[in-house]
Amino acid sequence: MKRIAVFTSGGDAPGMNACIRAVVRGGLHYGLEVFGIIRGYNGMIKGDIIPLNSQSVSNIIQRGGTILKSARSKEFMTPEGRKKAYDQLKAHGIEGLVAIGGNGTFTGAEIFYNEFQIPTVGAPGTIDNDLYGTDYTIGYDTAVNTAVDAIDKIRDTADSHDRIFFIEVMGRDSGYIAVQSGISGGAESILIPEERQTIDDIVLTLKNGFERKKSSSIVVVAEGDEEGQAAEVADKIKKTIDVPVDIRVTNLGHIQRGGAPSAYDRILASRLGLGALEGLLNGEKNVMAGIVNDQLIYTPFHDTITKKKLITNDLIRMVSILGR
């Protein structure tokens, strides 16, 4: 293998640039020509492929976002689109790919290999931390710290005005950000897709707080919770709770995706980028590089895509005990 390409796809995550840097500099160390594909699968189809060298990735380890840009590609979901992408890779002499992204990225890579035998090794880049086969994903630590910083600030105003704040964090299918930012921020209640908590449960928790003369409360809601998003949950609580209280809602939104990556995310992304590259050189394909128990492992894309990464019961137990 002489020529490889790296790309980022799906939602951006802090640390993606550190991962790109590791792939490029690792590739140069092993005597490879390294290319970058701009805007993921869209760029692959259009032939938006550029050579990368050591200078290309200088001074990016501390930057959020992705210098290679990211996009979701409907055309790549079609056989015709994938054929265009294959033709562009062959025209550039690309023999292997490192894909930085999540479930959708790896689903596309697996289908692409089955059709055209271009080997791909993935690096898990998503703030949701929802990929089976790695303890942590690139960007998750930074996103949690961003959420905790916001929760701490909201706690100040909640205490000042005796309010209940419902704070929505990202996590359509995963409650990892909600659980860890909620525990870190001292939330009284946390709603996540993985664990059913009813409106009556939340009301009981809040009432217990009032009885102990607690003047303010924080409820963290993952956007994919069964009871609805934060605004919906807050409306249900207003109709149910029988004590006078001022309820406010804050949606943290896309600030969780941005910002300089934490030291942990920079190191994780560097390990995973180099691990993905070395896996590719060692004949791995259709696998994701991950870190489990501080060891580099490779998990088949099929398992990463289809198997559910569960939140540990210990974290859920902590929420029920410490939030009272």
Token reading at 118: 């271009």
Is residue 128 part of the annotated active site? The answer reads yes
Say what the pTM is. Answer: 0.94
Token reading at 156: 């100040």
**Amino acid, single-letter form, for residue 1:** M
Whether the Cβ atoms of residue 188 and residue 206 lie closer than 8 Å to each other: yes
Q: List the catalytic residue out of 12, 48, 87, 128.
A: 128
Token reading at 145: 């710290």
Question: Which carries the bigger pLDDT value, residue 160 or residue 251?
Answer: 251
Q: What is the mean pLDDT of residues 202-220?
A: 83
Classify residue 268 by its DSSP letter: H
The tens digit of pLDDT for each residue in 130-179 reads: 999 999 999 999 999 999 999 999 999 988 888 899 999 998 889 999 99
**pLDDT value of residue 323:** 66
**Amino acid, single-letter form, for residue 52:** L
**pLDDT value of residue 304:** 96
Domains of the chain: 3-139+261-306 (3.40.50.450), 140-257 (3.40.50.460)
The tens digit of pLDDT for each residue in 25-34 reads: 999 999 999 9
**pLDDT value of residue 216:** 82
Token reading at 56: 């290309």
Percentage helix, strand, coil for the chain under 3-state DSSP, each rounded to 5: 45, 20, 35
Q: What percent of the chain has pLDDT over 90?
A: 78
Average pLDDT, the chain: 93
**pLDDT value of residue 227:** 82
**pLDDT value of residue 9:** 95
Confidence of residue 36 (pLDDT cuts 50, 70, 90): very high
Q: What are residue 298's phi and psi, to 5 degrees?
A: -120, 125
Q: What is the mean pLDDT of residues 256-276?
A: 98
